[in-house]
Amino acid sequence: MAALVIMSHYARQAVKEEAIARSEQALQTAALNIDNILHKTEVAAINMREYVENRLANPDDILLISKQLVETNPDIIGCAICFEPDFYPQKGHLFMAYHFRRGNKILCSDHFGSTSYLQQEWYSRPKTTDSPCWAEPIPKDTTYGCPIITYSTPIHQKGKLVGILAVDITLNDLSRIAQETRPYPNTFCALLGKSGNFIIHPDTAMLNPGAMFRQLRMLDAKSAELAKAMLDGDSGYMEVNIYGIDCYAFYKPFKNTNWSIDIITWKSELFAPYNRLMTITSILVLGGLILLLVFCRTFIHRQLNPLEQLDRSVQQLAAGDFSHPVVVSKRRDEIGSLQKSFHAMQQAIISKIDEIQQHSQKLNKQKETLFAAYDRTHEAERIKTVFLHNVTSQLVEPVNAISDIVNNIKTNHDTLKQKDISQMAKQMQTYTNTIINLLHEMIKVSENDSKL
């Protein structure tokens, strides 16, 4: 982004310098083309003035010279050769040899305008200064139907001013020449006279005397500064605002006429290449950022997808689900190594779990066997207890009987007969055998328990 800002700054500077150079070159070209027209007009007038000064004796020759000047100079649309009052008495008080071009014809007239030529600036001014000059433009003229400007040069006879030779050129031609050199479509050219009146302006209403000063009252201070710089004969450029439009004004003076020419260019057109460049650059940068974002997202997703898979697998392992194996990719980086490690760990855990399950099954079987043996032992103990209880119960009767016999013998041995004693002895033997048999049964049971 910083590089883009720096590039934009230097691109704007480069475009501005190129646009200024282009406008200054257009200004120089326009000034040169206009100066060529003016110079040719001046040369034609001066050369013809010398010819007139040599032919003053015959006024009819003056008429021919006036016509010839218009015929031989296509840039000149009219020529008036006027003399001081009564210079040609035979021609009247005033004499004007005036020819002008209208369409394809060259017409002749003895007057110009509605007033006497003696009162018109193109005559009175060079007469007063006794030097050639350009008169103020005439914005509306019924003779030509277009704005014109006049170059006048004094005519002398023996060092005395006797008349004025004046040639007219149309300002439309000068405007066309100026507009042909404009560097941008909305550029316009203006030519300002030394008195502050416009000689060339795209708005013909501005050609009226004092129009510029009236206009300045409605414009900003920069426009007034521009007008002052042009009247002072300065050259350069400045930013101005004309009717709410930001513009660049390029201006320079004419050397010989004290006029000043300027070119006004819209700022938006001046920087149009820069704006187009910035638009294209912005589109390219935005497209590049989108592509970069898509690439980064795809790349990051590709990089993180194995980690996400590994995370899901680890969560399944943590939840005790070992049915889904850890995915192993072909990557050889740390992620691939981590996948392989978790896969090996999962396999080791599964192997250990299988081994534990096998041991658990074996222990369960052993437990079942022990429970069965315990049940059998418990049952045997119960049977043994019942047996001993039965045997004990069976021993009571013979033991009691033997005890009774022994007590009877002990008590009555003096009175007992041998037969009774024998009978008691047999009974005791019978009871004794019963007891012995019962004891043998108990010994068997005890031996069987020992074997278990």
Closest Cα to residue 185, out of 273, 269, 276, 277?
269
The 3-state secondary structure of 269-324, one letter per residue: HHCHHHHHHHHHHHHHHHHHHHHHHHHHHHHHHHHHHHHHHHHHHHHHHHCCCCCC
pLDDT value at 339 more than 60: yes
Q: Residue 134 and residue 151: Cα distance in Å, rounded? A: 4
First to last CA, the chain: 93
Scored b (16 or more CB within 10 A) or e, 86-114 reads ebbeebeebbbbbbbbeeeebeeeeebee
pLDDT value at 1 more than 90: no
pLDDT digits (tens, 9 = 90+) for 207-221: 776 667 666 666 667
Domains within the chain, CATH numbers bracketed = 2-270 (3.30.450.20), 360-451 (1.10.287.130)
Compute the average pLDDT of residues 171-195: 79
pLDDT value at 79 more than 90: yes
Compute the average pLDDT of residues 49-73: 91
Q: In sequence order, which residues have a C-beta less than 8 Å from that of residue 88 and are 6 or more positions away? A: 59, 95
The reported pLDDT for the residue numbered 254 is 76
Determine the length of the chain.
Answer: 452
pTM: 0.58
Selected residue with higher pLDDT from 272 and 117:
117
State the chain's mean pLDDT as an integer.
81
| Residue 157 pLDDT class (50, 70, 90 cuts) | very high
The reported pLDDT for the residue numbered 386 is 75
The reported pLDDT for the residue numbered 14 is 75
Longest dimension (CA), the chain: 228
pLDDT value at 126 more than 80: yes
Encoded tokens for 107: 């017409």
pLDDT digits (tens, 9 = 90+) for 7-33: 666 666 777 788 788 878 888 888 888
CB of 167 closer than 8 Å to CB of 72:
no
CB of 87 closer than 8 Å to CB of 118:
no
Compute the average pLDDT of residues 401-429: 78
Compute the average pLDDT of residues 139-156: 81
Helix, strand, or coil (residue 163): strand
The reported pLDDT for the residue numbered 326 is 66
pLDDT digits (tens, 9 = 90+) for 297-322: 888 877 777 767 767 777 776 777 66
Scored b (16 or more CB within 10 A) or e, 367-377 reads eeeeeeeeeee
* Token pair 């050639």 in the structure block, residue: 132
The reported pLDDT for the residue numbered 198 is 77
| Residue 431 pLDDT class (50, 70, 90 cuts) | confident
The region of weakest confidence among 55-59, 61-65, 251-255 is 251-255
C-alpha distances (whole Å) from 423 to each of 339, 410, 419, 426, 428 are 100, 15, 6, 5, 9
The reported pLDDT for the residue numbered 322 is 64
Compute the average pLDDT of residues 323-345: 70
Compute the average pLDDT of residues 378-407: 76
Compute the average pLDDT of residues 182-198: 78
| Residue 452 pLDDT class (50, 70, 90 cuts) | low
The reported pLDDT for the residue numbered 11 is 67
State the alpha helices, DSSP H only, in 119-196. Answer: 121-129, 171-180
Q: Residue 239 and residue 264: Cα distance in Å, rounded? A: 10
pLDDT digits (tens, 9 = 90+) for 395-411: 777 777 778 777 877 78
CB of 15 closer than 8 Å to CB of 277:
yes
